[in-house]
Amino acid sequence: MDQQVKDKKTAIMDAALKLFTERGFHGTSTAQISKDAGVATGTLFNYFPTKEDLINSLYFEVKGRLSSCIKEGIDSEATFEARMKKLWSNFIRCGVNNPEEFLFVGQFSSSPYITKITREEAMKEYDVILDMVEEGFGNGKTGNYSMELAMLIFYHSSRAVVSLILDSGSLQDMDEIIEDGFQILWKGLSPE
Amino acid sequence: MDQQVKDKKTAIMDAALKLFTERGFHGTSTAQISKDAGVATGTLFNYFPTKEDLINSLYFEVKGRLSSCIKEGIDSEATFEARMKKLWSNFIRCGVNNPEEFLFVGQFSSSPYITKITREEAMKEYDVILDMVEEGFGNGKTGNYSMELAMLIFYHSSRAVVSLILDSGSLQDMDEIIEDGFQILWKGLSPE
DNA sequence: TTAAAGATTGACTAATCAGTCATTGGTGTT
DNA sequence: AACACCAATGACTGATTAGTCAATCTTTAA
């Protein structure tokens, strides 16, 4: 039973994730999700009272997956630069290795029906960056710039790089792109 | 007649832009657009054969508006750094001054139903950056980084900064944010 | 073995969707 | 005034939507 339940629920979330990234939230019907998941339409509504509940649940699930991926293997004994580089690399590799999750989060964040508060909540996940930046650069300023600005540029640049790698489809250049991207940011964000 | 026609068409596009940025493409019905524009549903379909045609027409219209805004007042006699700074400032000010257009383009670009080819076409608009970067930094590399990477970071950072300004609602800090953001990018992108 | 409890089903509904088309009404010409 | 022309209309359609629910099947426990 317990396993069965988990199977159905997981199947629904898997199908939903795939379809949402392919066709968007409004573009995907609950009927289609159920069909792809191999369950009846009623079953979907047993687990998720409304479509919106499904979207939100899926978002927290996906955010969790990416979050643990992003924090992996950061050695707190390493130098600040090494840790930043690892974080940068993790962000990009997690996105490239989990393209559906990556696209879903992007779509969710820029979605108009998601409120501003939810979007801020969404951003909280990436306070890892903010924490690390603040710890490394002292209080309030990197070079002469605000921490929030630094974090935003770091985060959005990493997303841009993931898109570049996914669109070009050339995974072999990935290491070089990651390295080059980090050099730009590190040079830009460091104090003189 | 001619003016009448233009009025109705403009009203439809204005209403569509507003609603699309508020509720998304699928979340906005043609009936609602017509109602907000003050025309009958049939009238909308006189001007735009399908909803998709309306979205595409609107996209090219909006892209055009932003494009001319972005290129304004760049003095080709100025130094490379001055021109880059002006371009950066224009990107951000155009976004802040035209929030609906800014959000619409972002939504359109990250929309799943827009094909990869259309998205590349969309990006062509911002070859202004690529052209300028290539002209200023020579052929192929900025510092040691590829031009495309530099352009993507420039573009996505500018979008991040616009979002920051729009979300915080604090227009008075804008000049400082623009300046700080530019310093990060300029330092990052410049050769040693 | 049996019965209660809970999970699953899919036909169904009311609402909403994009798009149609016969009709109307305003304008310019003669 | 009589006509032609065409933009504008909005009631209408068939398709699709999120969500419901009585009936059926599966699991558990006595």
Q: What pLDDT is recorded for position A1?
A: 41
**Are B160 and A155 inside 8 Å of each other by CB?**
yes
Which residue in B has a C-alpha nearest to residue A182's C-alpha?
B188
The predicted-structure confidence for A45-61, as pLDDT tens digits, reads as follows 999 999 999 999 999 99
pLDDT band for A139, please (50, 70, 90 cuts). low
**Residue A10 CB neighbours (<10 A):** 12
Chain centroid to Cα B190, Å, comes to 25
pLDDT band for B1, please (50, 70, 90 cuts). very low
CA distance A4 to chain B (A): 32
Q: What pLDDT is recorded for position A83?
A: 93
Q: What is the CA B108 to C1' C17 distance in angstroms?
A: 21
- Tell me if B133 sits within 8 A of B154, measured CB to CB: yes
Residue B73 CB contacts under 8 Å (≥ 6 apart), including other chains: B86, B90
Kindly list the domain boundaries of chain A, sorted by start residue: 1-49, 52-189
CATH number of the A52-189 domain: 1.10.357.10
Distances (CA, A) of B121 to A107, A186, B53, B69, B113: 20, 31, 16, 19, 14
- Could you give the CA distance from residue A154 to residue A186 in angstroms, rounded to a whole number? 9
Assigned CATH topology for domain B1-49: Arc Repressor Mutant, subunit A (1.10.10)
**Are A184 and B189 inside 8 Å of each other by CB?**
yes
Q: What pLDDT is recorded for position B148?
A: 86
- Could you give the CA distance from residue B101 to residue B175 in angstroms, rounded to a whole number? 21
The predicted model gives A128-141 an average pLDDT of 75
Q: What pLDDT is recorded for position A166?
A: 92
pLDDT band for B119, please (50, 70, 90 cuts). low
Chain centroid to Cα A125, Å, comes to 9
Answering whether pTM is above 0.75, one says: yes
Decide: helix, strand or coil at residue A75: coil
Decide: helix, strand or coil at residue B131: helix
Instruction: Considering only CA atoms, name the residue closest to the C1' of nucleotide D8.
Output: B43
Residue B91: both structure tokens together:
């990107």
The predicted-structure confidence for B53-67, as pLDDT tens digits, reads as follows 999 999 999 999 999
Cβ of A4 near strand D (under 7 Å)? The reply is yes
Helices and strands in chain B, H and E counts? 10, 2
**Are B113 and A23 inside 8 Å of each other by CB?**
yes
